[in-house]
Amino acid sequence: MYNYFLDILKKSKLVFSYLCLDELYTFYGNKRNRVYIWSAVGVTKIGRKFYFYHLSKRKNIYSLLSFNFTLPKVEKYYTEGHFVYLNVYGKKATQQKSKFTNIVENLNSQMRDKISYLVRRTKAHAKSFKWLNQRLAMLFVELNLKGYKIVI
């Protein structure tokens, strides 16, 4: 369902102003299996927010490039100070805490609230990588459709 949403969004004529990006980590299976959740909030020219995520087993440039492939193209990126953002986005990236990075931090807070094994300092973890991906997909579809009536 989330991938279907991404396909529709790519075909749309929406114009995005900027993206706010961040990452957090959790575990699956056991505490030795760390996974990173890259999250982004895209804001259109009219102020509508869209939410995106990507799972990776590493926090590196290749993981961010893979995530970037699914994101809408924008002229400005707001991130925190990790080097991968600067390496991928260059001068388009603003790397400092601001009202823009607070948008994506709010998304991370919502994820931790809705998905119990994302809570900090918990002993809980996802049963599998696939399980975590499905739960995140449901959450992000819900966030993106919030406030819209669905006609089938």
Q: Does residue 33 form part of some domain?
A: yes
Q: The whole model's pTM is what?
A: 0.87
Q: How far is CA 53 from CA 95, 111, 123, in A?
A: 19, 11, 23
Q: Does residue 152 form part of some domain?
A: no
Identify the CATH number of the domain in which residue 100 sits. 3.30.420.10
H/E stretch holding 95 reads: strand 93-95
pLDDT for 124 equals 64
Q: Does residue 112 form part of some domain?
A: yes
Work out the number of other CB atoms within 10 angstroms of the CB of residue 53.
20
Q: Does residue 43 form part of some domain?
A: yes
Q: Does residue 118 form part of some domain?
A: yes
pLDDT for 31 equals 79
pLDDT along the chain (152 residues), means of 10: 86 92 87 90 92 94 93 91 86 83 88 75 72 90 75 48
The total number of residues shown for the chain amounts to 152
Q: Does residue 139 form part of some domain?
A: yes
**Which residues constitute the domain of residue 46?**
2-145
Q: Does residue 150 form part of some domain?
A: no
Q: Does residue 129 form part of some domain?
A: yes
Phi-psi region of 90 (alpha: psi -120 to 50; beta: other; left: phi over 0): left
